[in-house]
Chains A and B, each alone.
Chain A
Amino acid sequence: MRRDRVTFAMMIGIPIMQMVVFGFAINSDPKHLPTVIVAADHTSYSRSIVSAMQNSGYFQIVKTVASEAEADLLIEEGEAQFVVTIPEGFSRRLVRGEQPALLLTADATDPSATSNALAAFRIFTETALSRDLDGPLRYLRRSGPPLNVVVHARFNPEGIMQYNIVPGLMGVVLTMTLVIITALAITRERERGTMENLLSTPVRPMEVMLGKIVPYIIVGYLQMSVILLAARYLFHVPIMGNLLLLLLVSLPFITANLGVGLTFSTLARNQLQAVQMAFFFFLPSILLSGFMFPFRGMPPWAQRVGEVLPLTHYLRIVRGIILKGNTLPQIFPNLWPIGVFLLVALTVGLTRYHRTLD
């Protein structure tokens, strides 16, 4: 055990990591979801709705915008989880007992992130307004709910879990297989002694790296195609965006994972260690990326860890393109972090790769 520190680190590290992640980071009832208000009506009634939302703990008002177009953009980019639209003349109609509509738009790509908040919304808005409707307006309380809450669950109106999981699976499968495959690639050369032969030839490190990466990029695309076909024909996931764009922006993600695998392979002394390291990377990727549990349900420190992982950003891109029909400008905020990660992984991998055996 003393001689094989990586295995030792795994035995200690994995339980601790799981304890921290499952114990502290995971929360299937996310609170403080970013909400944008489109307020065309500025009265005490709309203010009490807003404060009731904040008091509920589910909603955190991050912005107040003037137009619905602006709010739509924020929801498409994933900046906001909810948009509450208080239409013009809301208070006037409320006082008249006309049961005005209050529109709640939700980004329902991940139904588990929004369902609790949506259920709570109906209840507390009514109670909040009932409290306001006092004195001369007391009669309004008796004639049914004072307002009509309209929930608009965008991108996944029926709240079908597969719509969220299957596209996300693409990122998970790519992360899992590509990191392990490449982590093994160079370690195997060293373990079998073929590295010695390779190093005595005039090949350059960059050539070896490319030789190890390019075939697996093709493998990555094959995996993607299988999942996309399954998503379309087996799970009937609506594909809203441009698949060509998806394939294109997947390249940095695939390469980033291969870069991680290569870095591991230059650190590991044997294939077992390489697999263990890959697992060490895969576990937080799947747990903290928002694949299994809502990203916004995690505490800030866990979100920061998640933001470093390429899978987190890739999931947003995949879901963005497939479910929301995002275009390049909308996914760009999640594209560059993957690019940075890719550069770092490849640089570390290339500098760690030795031209010699010492």
Chain B
Amino acid sequence: MAEDVPVIEVQELTKSFNGKTVVDKLSLRVAPGEIYGFLGPNGSGKTTFIRMLCGLLRPDSGTGVCLGFDIQKESEKIKPHVGYMAQRFSLYEDLSVLENLNFMGRIYGLQQLKTLVDESIQRMGLARFANQLAGTLSGGWKQRLALATCLLHQPRLLLLDEPTAGVDPKARRDFWDDIYRLSEQGVTSLISTHYMDEAERCHRLAYLSYGKLLAAGTADQVIAASGLTSWSVFGSNVHRLAARLKGVAGVEQVVPFGNTLHVSGHDADKLARGLQPFMAEEYRWQKTEANLEEVFISLMQDRGVQ
């Protein structure tokens, strides 16, 4: 497949439930091998969008191509090449790890199933749980099993809906290692998440709010596009300062990070003027780049104002 042919390309995709628009004219482009992060507050339409891509939901309007197939008409042709991992654990809890893998493998009609399942179990480190019931696995291992099953048929596109929610840091690291390895092999991933550190690991990001795409691009692009100016404040009693800074003209966000404070706002001049009186005090001020979290919180606040 040529590098320039996108894996996902949708235009103005719209979906509403009972008159409430959940995904509103969303247009998106994902290149092959890319790890695409999908961010946004709860209820922003991330899950609905992912479900539309893999044929679980039918879009109300808009067009789109996924893996070269029309998402409106050819979802049956898309399904065999997509690995979908739902937000909730959706394998059979009363089947063992091995049985779940075998079952899903047979559903996809895989050849040499035994070899594939054995490899998958070895690669994902599931060997010692092979005969354990899936329902009795811990959260992290359930997630690993879910990933193993959705990789079994060697999909070209992974649609992962909050795959790391409630999973410990070690398991999350392992998970991301797998995603990077797959990305090198040319597998494209679309991952929704709430974790900022994961957002930073993605090649590209999209930020969704109330069904609308508010920002898209690489992390740097998203930060630059936000137009946020940030200051870091260091000192012994920054928390007391935080209370005083709230409400100062130009200050939109005051976020503590341990012993530092991040102060940010859209209007750089106004922010500098507002902060001037405080600069004289015993704190050390430094102008920094806004981080993703500040950008996203500011995007959320902007929506709230509208």
A interface residues (Cβ-Cβ under 8 A, vs B): 192-203, 355-358
- For the complex of A and B, the 5 pairs showing the least CB-CB separation, nearest first, are A197-B90, A200-B84, A193-B90, A202-B79, A193-B88
Contact stretch, chosen from B48-56, B185-193, B288-296 = B48-56
Q: Which of B84, B88, B90 has the most CB of A within 10 A?
A: B90
Within 8 A of A (CB), among B77-92: 79-80, 82, 84, 86, 88-92
Pairwise interchain contact A358-B91, C-beta atoms closer than 8 A: no
A-B contact pairs, 8 of them (CB 8 A): A194-B91, A194-B92, A196-B90, A202-B76, A202-B108, A355-B55, A356-B56, A358-B57
Pairwise interchain contact B104-A201, C-beta atoms closer than 8 A: yes
Q: How far is the CA of A202 from the CA of B107 in the complex (A)?
A: 7
Q: Which residues of A contact B70 (CB under 8 A)?
A: none
Question: How many whole Å from A139's CB to the nearest CB in chain B?
Answer: 85
Given contacts A197-B91, A201-B107, A202-B107, is CB(A357)–CB(B79) below 8 Å?
no
Question: How many whole Å from A182's CB to the nearest CB in chain B?
Answer: 17
Question: How many whole Å from A354's CB to the nearest CB in chain B?
Answer: 10
B interface residues (Cβ-Cβ under 8 A, vs A): 17, 51, 54-58, 76, 79-80, 82, 84, 86, 88-93, 104, 107-109
Q: How far is the CA of A301 from the CA of B54 in the complex (A)?
A: 50
Main secondary structure of the interface of B (DSSP, over half): loop
Question: How many whole Å from B44's CB to the nearest CB in chain A?
Answer: 18
Q: How far is the CA of A203 from the CA of B93 in the complex (A)?
A: 20
Q: Which residues of A contact B82 (CB under 8 A)?
A: 200
Q: Which residues of A contact B84 (CB under 8 A)?
A: 197, 200
Question: How many whole Å from B64's CB to the nearest CB in chain A?
Answer: 15
Q: Which residues of B contact A202 (CB under 8 A)?
A: 76, 79-80, 107-109
Q: Which residues of B contact A197 (CB under 8 A)?
A: 84, 86, 90-91
Q: How far is the CA of A92 from the CA of B243 in the complex (A)?
A: 122
Pairwise interchain contact A200-B92, C-beta atoms closer than 8 A: no
Pairwise interchain contact A356-B89, C-beta atoms closer than 8 A: no
Pairwise interchain contact A194-B90, C-beta atoms closer than 8 A: yes
Question: How many whole Å from A200's CB to the nearest CB in chain B?
Answer: 4
Q: How far is the CA of A202 from the CA of B92 in the complex (A)?
A: 18
Q: How far is the CA of A192 from the CA of B54 in the complex (A)?
A: 20
Pairwise interchain contact B107-A193, C-beta atoms closer than 8 A: no
Given contacts A202-B79, A202-B80, A202-B108, is CB(A357)–CB(B86) below 8 Å?
no
